Structure 1
Amino acid sequence: MTTPRSVLVIGGGAAGNAVTILLRRAGITVDLIEAKDDWNATAGSGITLQGNALRVLRELGVWEQVKASGFAFGSVGITAPDGTVLHVAEDLRTGGDDLPATVGMQRPQLQRTLIDAVRACGARVRLGTEAESLEQDGDGVSVRFTDGTEGRYDLVIGADGLNSSTRAAIGVTDKPEPTGMAIWRVAAPRPAGVTRTDLAYGGPAYIAGYCPTSDTTIYAYVVEANRDRASIPPETYAEEMRRLASAYGGFWPEITASITDPAKVNYTWFDRLLVEGSWHRGRVVLIGDAAHCCPPTLAQGAALSLEDAWVLAQLLTSGEPWNDGLLQAYHDRRMARVRPVVEASVQIGQWQLDGVRDADVPGLIVRTMTMLRELP
Structure 2
Amino acid sequence: MIRTALVVGGGVGGMSASLSLAKRGVAVELIDIDPQWRAYGAGISVTGLSLRAFDDLGILDEIREQGFVGTGFRLRTPDGAVVMETPRHAGLAPIDSSGGIMRPVLHAILQKHVRKADVTVTLGVEPRGFRESGDGVTVALSDGTERTVDLVVAADGIQSKTRKTLFPDAPAPQFTGQGCWRIVADRPEGLNGAEMYIGGPVKLGLNPISQDKLYAFILEHVPDNPWYADEDMLPRVAELLAPYGGDIVKIRESLGEDSLVNYRPLEWQLLPLPWHKGRVVVIGDAAHATTPHMASGAGLAAEDGLVLADEMAKTDDVEAALTAFGLRRFERARMVVENSVRIGEIEMAGGNQVDANKMLGGTMQKLKEPY
Deviation for aligned residue 1:18: 0.7
Do residues 327 (structure 1) and 327 (structure 2) align? no
Do residues 165 (structure 1) and 171 (structure 2) align? no
Of 367, 372, 376, which aligns to 2:362?
367
Query: Are the equivalent residues in 1 in contact too, given 2:177–2:225 (CA < 8 A)?
Result: no
Corresponding residue number in structure 1 for 2:34: 36
Q: Deviations over 1:206-257 (max 9, x none)?
A: x011110011001111110136566422211111111101211121011112
CA distance in 1, matches of 2:195, 2:25: 44
Do residues 183 (structure 1) and 174 (structure 2) align? no
Of 54, 74, 78, which aligns to 2:71?
74
Of 269, 279, 284, which aligns to 2:280?
284
SS in 2 for 1:53: helix
Distance 1:181 1:169, change over 3 A: same
Q: Deviations over 1:177-222 (max 9, x none)?
A: 01110011111111111111111133332x0111100110011111
Do residues 85 (structure 1) and 82 (structure 2) align? yes
Distance 1:311 1:231, change over 3 A: closer
Query: Are the equivalent residues in 1 in contact too, given 2:48–2:94 (CA < 8 A)?
Result: no
Do residues 237 (structure 1) and 233 (structure 2) align? yes
Identity of aligned residues (%): 35
- 1:39-118 mapped onto 2 (5 Å cutoff): 39-41=37-39, 43-89=40-86, 97=93, 101-118=97-114
Q: Deviations over 1:159-190 (max 9, x none)?
A: 00110011011125222101110011111111
CA distance in 1, matches of 2:177, 2:89: 28
Deviation for aligned residue 1:143: 0.9
Deviation for aligned residue 1:73: 1.9
Of 341, 361, 364, which aligns to 1:346?
341
Partner amino acid, structure 1, of 2:81:
T
Q: 5+ unaligned residues in a row in structure 2: which ranges?
A: none
Distance 1:128 1:275, change over 3 A: same
Partner amino acid, structure 1, of 2:296:
Q
CA distance in 1, matches of 2:88, 2:149: 43
Corresponding residue number in structure 1 for 2:5: 7
Length-normalised TM-score, structure 1: 0.93
CA distance in 2, matches of 1:199, 1:155: 43
Of 301, 311, 321, which aligns to 1:315?
311
Distance 1:96 1:347, change over 3 A: farther
Deviation for aligned residue 1:79: 1.4
Deviation for aligned residue 1:358: 5.6
Partner amino acid, structure 2, of 1:118:
V
Corresponding residue number in structure 1 for 2:127: 131
Partner amino acid, structure 2, of 1:72:
V
Distance 1:269 1:17, change over 3 A: same
Partner amino acid, structure 1, of 2:18:
T
Partner amino acid, structure 1, of 2:175:
P
Corresponding residue number in structure 1 for 2:351: 356
CA distance in 1, matches of 2:94, 2:295: 20
Deviation for aligned residue 1:365: 1.8
Partner amino acid, structure 2, of 1:369:
M
Q: 5+ unaligned residues in a row in structure 1: which ranges?
A: none
| Equivalences, count | 370
Q: Deviations over 1:2-25 (max 9, x none)?
A: x53110000000010011011111
Query: Are the equivalent residues in 1 in contact too, given 2:95–2:368 (CA < 8 A)?
Result: no
Length-normalised TM-score, structure 2: 0.95
- 1:232-311 mapped onto 2 (5 Å cutoff): 232-261=228-257, 264-311=260-307
SS in 2 for 1:7: strand
CA distance in 2, matches of 1:106, 1:162: 20
SS in 2 for 1:268: strand
CA distance in 2, matches of 1:19, 1:4: 13
Partner amino acid, structure 2, of 1:248:
Y
Of 195, 199, 204, which aligns to 2:196?
199
Query: Are the equivalent residues in 2 in contact too, given 1:234–1:262 (CA < 8 A)?
Result: no
Of 195, 212, 227, which aligns to 2:208?
212
Partner amino acid, structure 2, of 1:26:
R
Give the root-mean-square deviation of aligned CA atoms: 2.0
CA distance in 1, matches of 2:181, 2:49: 25
Query: Are the equivalent residues in 1 in contact too, given 2:312–2:318 (CA < 8 A)?
Result: no
Q: Deviations over 1:351-375 (max 9, x none)?
A: 1111113642232122111111111
Partner amino acid, structure 2, of 1:36:
D
CA distance in 1, matches of 2:66, 2:89: 22
